[in-house]
Structure 1
């Protein structure tokens, strides 16, 4: 039986990895015992300090990042399988690189001694479990060794869709995420494996494929074959928006009924769902703690059965380790 704090290793100390480090400082249940990243430890420490989070100071000494709660071994390694997680006595590895999404990559962490691997993004292929807070976190089992924690867009999409379906009945839906640019985009035109993503993130609205619909269908199987998703990456650093168009089962659904349904969902799951009547914009959600913030001012109806809703998505979603002891 596992006793004490969960010992976590992080591969990739980018935006999500740093967010997880900050969350660990607020938690009594876990500690970050190792970080593997290609960046220099002093640069990684600098970026942690530059995040603007008020918390105890972390000091870098002899390749350890030390704060008043835990010591973190800093390893300048790049690939799954290179880090000796067994030597570091790590219970769980969070792969936050965004680069390694195949099952064989995650299995390399297990072979290196990780007890379990949490993928901080969507997988490229089926794994043991995808866990979305508020939807199916109770389904995580001890036998699951490779788990995805979803993505900000996927988690918000699933919560929004299920809330509307439970209250009013949704037949099918199409989602577009208006998404802040990401770290794999270039600020200038630069050769990328994808034509459109070769263009400057700072100067263009870039249409992009999005995998969220596929995985929402996976966790909400009643919608199998009934969802689609697309992305528009825009020149905004933080703060994203979900534009969800639903074909309702009942043609009599009103805008006010939709808004009331989402207010009720926010009251039922306040840690995950918020609702506002304020005229907010993308920068207003930077400090939002929920997975989505429903924008009641934006709800509209077209014809008898089509309803459009908007929901804001915070830059760094609340990250929960789906760890079954």
Structure 2
């Protein structure tokens, strides 16, 4: 074939791929809005993704499993899912497509294969939707609002009903709240609509009313007056950190559960995927989602502890600056944090080393930790320097981490990164709380010491962990196939 002929064939193939991807996007939307079935591709979100983004995710998936993952195969599997009577679910079409390539001879067609794989979905319990209140509307609160509203679908799981802030609510304040939700300097524009409704003191997000309530004390609010009942309050303020303070939310009419987006005292500190099953939502009313750093390192430490054993280690977190630091040099109650955040690397403390033991008691007293705040607005890195009980190699530790990222109970928590060129801005917007940098792994010659690099979007990845825990607490987790 001539060079021109080859080029024309490549153009035709790319056109076919993109047309198939357009069809794939439609099926994704139909499944989500008609059946409350969410498709992901090796845990990467597909809802609201464009054609190029989906094709890029297929390239990553193929490299991840070291076998081509074709968009044409994904369309075939997605069409099969659409024809079946599947209850609300979250399905990894990458895993299904990968398995179909090995098992297609065992089944008459893709529909028979999918029906066999998803037969457990029939046993799923009926889900009762849960009203959600965001108490506080800062960085984490707004990201939670974005994700909750983007993934509302038919409203079968979590329903954002109200946002609570301090101070008066007038037109100027409400418009500013709406603007901060619409526009974000780090995460970009919200892929939806936000309208300030001053007459009803509400934000109309994607056409749905979310009440904005002003309150100085949690117990002063009667949520039932807004039609909100049996609600989960997600406290993002940082003002209430212990069991007694958080219990004030439960004195409000219409509240049944509380979830803190920070480390808590006297309440269960949960890293979803690691220790959430140890606490029953039927008997526990107050939960903490721990910290972003704890959520980043604990899944990786669990994988290493379970496989090799950890004698002791040190955690150093290279953390994006946060709102508690000063923009310019000024007085601060904490040492060094008073210096200009965007101009300095700032050594400070972190409780993540000791906090890990709340989720993994076997690591009690084995880890030290410290933090360096650096001049980036988002995107952080944890460096784990670990002395192991059983020796390994770079290949050995990487293969274990890849296995945990591909199958098991930590697949939502650990993303296995393959790139040689990864930098902090690349991980912004990743929904996994821990991004394992396989190309940076270091193992001492005797195999007893490893240095692991774990990236994390300290805002977006953490927010997704909060939502995962919120679904567990609210008992609205759907059938999943990972």
TM-score calculated relative to the size of structure 1: 0.92
Q: Distance in 2 between matches of 1:121 and 1:93?
A: 14
Q: Distance in 1 between matches of 2:194 and 2:138?
A: 17
Q: 1:261 to 1:104 in 2, by over 3 A?
A: same
Q: 1:277 to 1:109 in 2, by over 3 A?
A: same
| Structure 1 partner of 2:79 | none
Q: Distance in 1 between matches of 2:205 and 2:240?
A: 29
Secondary structure at the aligned position of 1:20 is classed as helix
Residue pair 1:32, 1:70 contacting (<8 A) in 2 also: no
2:166 to 18, 38, 41: 38
1:200 to 340, 343, 362: 340
- Quick check: 1:58 aligned with 2:198? no
Shift, 1:234, TM fit: 0.7
Shift, 1:293, TM fit: 0.9
Q: Distance in 1 between matches of 2:354 and 2:377?
A: 26
Larger helix share, 1 or 2: 2
Shift, 1:53, TM fit: 4.4
| Structure 1 partner of 2:313 | 173
Secondary structure at the aligned position of 2:400 is classed as helix
- Quick check: 1:71 aligned with 2:215? no
Shift, 1:4, TM fit: 4.1
Secondary structure at the aligned position of 1:287 is classed as coil
The runs of 5 or more residues in structure 1 that have no matched partner are none
| Structure 2 partner of 1:316 | 460
1:21-36, aligned counterparts within 5 Å? Answer: 21-25=145-149, 26-27=151-152, 28=155, 29-36=157-164
The runs of 5 or more residues in structure 2 that have no matched partner are 1-125, 168-172, 476-482
Larger radius of gyration, structure 1 or 2? 2
Q: Distance in 2 between matches of 1:53 and 1:271?
A: 25
Q: Distance in 2 between matches of 1:102 and 1:199?
A: 29
Residue pair 1:5, 1:30 contacting (<8 A) in 2 also: yes
| Structure 2 partner of 1:16 | 140
Which runs of at least 4 in structure 1 moved beyond 4 Å after TM superposition? none
2:223 to 73, 85, 90: 85
Residue pair 1:58, 1:65 contacting (<8 A) in 2 also: yes
| Structure 1 partner of 2:180 | 47
Residue pair 1:173, 1:247 contacting (<8 A) in 2 also: yes
| Structure 1 partner of 2:443 | 301
Give per-residue Cα distances to partners, 1:242-298, cap 9 Å, x unaligned: 100111002x31111111111111112432211123120000000212111111111
| Structure 1 partner of 2:291 | 151
| Structure 1 partner of 2:417 | 276
| Structure 2 partner of 1:238 | 378
TM-score calculated relative to the size of structure 2: 0.63
Residue pair 2:183, 2:190 contacting (<8 A) in 1 also: no
| Structure 2 partner of 1:260 | 399
Residue pair 1:140, 1:324 contacting (<8 A) in 2 also: no
Secondary structure at the aligned position of 2:377 is classed as coil
Secondary structure at the aligned position of 1:81 is classed as helix
Q: Distance in 2 between matches of 1:119 and 1:87?
A: 24
2:362 to 190, 201, 222: 222
Residue pair 2:146, 2:190 contacting (<8 A) in 1 also: no
Superposition CA RMSD, Å: 2.0
Secondary structure at the aligned position of 2:328 is classed as coil
Larger strand share, 1 or 2: 1
Q: Distance in 1 between matches of 2:216 and 2:325?
A: 20
| Structure 2 partner of 1:183 | 323
Residue pair 2:181, 2:190 contacting (<8 A) in 1 also: no
1:118 to 244, 255, 259: 259
Secondary structure at the aligned position of 2:402 is classed as helix
Give per-residue Cα distances to partners, 1:224-254, cap 9 Å, x unaligned: 111222111111011000100111002x311
Residue pair 2:335, 2:348 contacting (<8 A) in 1 also: no
Q: Distance in 2 between matches of 1:212 and 1:35?
A: 29
